[in-house]
């Protein structure tokens, strides 16, 4: 027996049909696109759901690449970014644009992922308009409001406004319980980034860059706001020291277009024959770069989740992380932005084969590739009337969504 959504029947072309729930999925940045894509695709297969996609385009070209790959066409594009826009200006533009759009579309549910300004404002406007909000990748915390900035504040605010908290790990679940969130609103699903990663990593993809296969590849990503200025300059000096110290290595650094990063990176790293600076890679190429890398240096949250699943050691160029699970597993290490420490930790992995293997174990504490299915199962149960007989698939998905991390993701 099929599920029946809690909406009145409507007549279309002479047939009586149950109207579907309108789910508005919001994406603003490339990482959000990667992590929301499997959820959007899974929802589009659900007969009870009418899915719309809204992009704020916090990342313009980077996000567009991801959406094209997953064959997702936005229904609304707010295109809010402006050159040298401050956070207050961005927030003001987003609140106004989202409010007008929510009023016009009247969604039943708003879904957003992560901790960007897009997510925070979407949660706030949904709250003002009394629309149920689902927070994907909920519960991440550093417990330092200014680090990372402004992401820690963004996810805390979204976390206090959400009806559904889709958490990636048991630790994230505990963070929310400690903050007083009702346990019935918290659903342990794993991280949707692993859903996308496993789909893409199953195949080899072209990487049209002049890399030397005889060299060990060090992949670098660094772009976080809190590292602007001297911390980023120290990161660049450490990178240059490493390639000069180890002639059998080369560096690939897809440089973020923010001028605080782009200008400094080219000033300090440009011109070295074994340091390849390029523009941001599309998603498939970046996954391929991770697969080929010997070692990864990053301040990215998404890379901290992806690289361990690919068996790649990660040195995190931050003093704190909201993703401590991989650190606890020993497959990710926090090294900060001190150039001496970065070089020392990287040298240990480049010189000591045993130390390297200890970190390159292919352990993924963030998911098993089925997070999006669990999220959709929770929404299906919440938004539709359960019949007397529940299908085995639905029963299993809901069960998976409420088990502990050890049971679901092991």
Is 272 tagged catalytic?
no
- The separation between CA 306 and the C-alpha centre of its own chain, rounded to angstroms, equals 10
Q: Rounded to whole angstroms, how far apart are CA atoms 201 and 193?
A: 12
Is 400 tagged catalytic?
no
Q: Rounded to whole angstroms, how far apart are CA atoms 399 and 148?
A: 34
Catalytic site residue from 151, 195, 306, 345: 151
The structure tokens listed for 126 are: 């949904």
Catalytic site residue from 225, 233, 292, 348: 225
Sign of CA dihedral 155, 160, 162, 167: positive
312-329 in b/e form (b: 16+ CB < 10 A) is bbbbbbbebbbbbbbbee
Is 256 tagged catalytic?
yes
Is 370 tagged catalytic?
no
Residue 337: which residues within 8 A CB-CB, separation 6 or more?
227, 231, 232, 234, 235, 317, 318, 319
Is 226 tagged catalytic?
no
Catalytic site residue from 32, 108, 115, 345: 115
Angle at 375 between CA 77 and CA 6, to 5 degrees: 85
Catalytic site residue from 59, 141, 223, 276: 223
Is 329 tagged catalytic?
no
Neighbours of 284 (CB within 10 A): 18
CB contact at 8 A, 159 and 165: yes
Catalytic site residue from 156, 171, 224, 256: 256
DSSP letter at 227 equals G
Residue 340: which residues within 8 A CB-CB, separation 6 or more?
238
Residue 99, preceding peptide bond in cis (omega within 30° of 0): no
User: Annotated active-site positions, please?
Assistant: 115, 137, 151, 223, 225, 256
């Amino acid at each position: 027996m099929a599920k029946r959504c809690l909406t009145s029947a409507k007549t279309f072309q002479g047939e009586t049909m149950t109207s579907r729930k309108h789910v508005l999925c919001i994406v603003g940045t490339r990482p959000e696109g990667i992590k929301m894509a499997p959820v959007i695709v899974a929802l589009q297969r659900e007969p009870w759901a009418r899915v719309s996609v809204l992009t704020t385009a916090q990342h313009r070209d980077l996000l567009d690449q991801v959406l094209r790959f997953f064959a997702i066409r936005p229904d609304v594009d707010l295109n809010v970014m402006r050159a040298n826009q401050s956070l207050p200006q961005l927030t003001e533009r987003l609140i106004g644009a989202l409010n007008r759009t929510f009023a016009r579309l009247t969604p039943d549910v708003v879904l957003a992922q992560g901790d960007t300004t897009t997510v925070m404002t979407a949660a706030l406007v949904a709250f003002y308009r009394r629309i149920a909000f689902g927070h994907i990748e909920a519960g991440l915390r550093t417990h330092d409001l200014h680090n990372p900035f402004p992401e820690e504040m963004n996810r805390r605010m979204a976390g206090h406004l959400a009806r559904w908290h889709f958490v990636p790990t048991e630790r994230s679940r505990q963070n929310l319980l400690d903050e007083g969130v009702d346990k019935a609103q918290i659903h342990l699903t794993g991280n949707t980034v692993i859903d996308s990663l496993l789909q893409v990593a199953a195949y080899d993809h072209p990487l049209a860059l002049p890399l030397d296969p005889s060299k060990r590849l060090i992949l670098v990503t660094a772009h976080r706001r809190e590292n602007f200025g001297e911390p980023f300059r120290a990161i660049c000096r450490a990178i240059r020291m490493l390639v000069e110290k180890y002639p059998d290595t080369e560096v690939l650094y897809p440089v973020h277009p923010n001028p605080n990063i782009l200008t400094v990176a080219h000033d300090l790293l440009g011109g070295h024959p074994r340091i390849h600076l390029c523009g941001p890679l599309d998603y498939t190429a970046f996954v391929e770069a991770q697969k080929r890398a010997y070692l990864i240096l990053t301040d990215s949250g998404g890379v901290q989740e992806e690289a361990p699943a690919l068996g790649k050691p990660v040195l995190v160029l931050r003093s704190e992380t909201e993703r401590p699970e991989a650190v606890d597993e020993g497959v990710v290490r926090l090294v900060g932005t001190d150039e001496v420490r970065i070089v020392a930790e990287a040298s240990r992995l480049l010189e000591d084969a045993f130390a390297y293997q200890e970190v390159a174990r292919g352990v993924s504490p963030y998911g098993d590739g089925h997070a999006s299915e669990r999220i959709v199962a929770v929404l299906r149960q919440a938004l539709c009337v359960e019949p007397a007989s529940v299908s085995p698939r639905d029963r299993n998905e809901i069960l998976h969504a409420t088990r502990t991390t050890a049971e679901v993701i092991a």
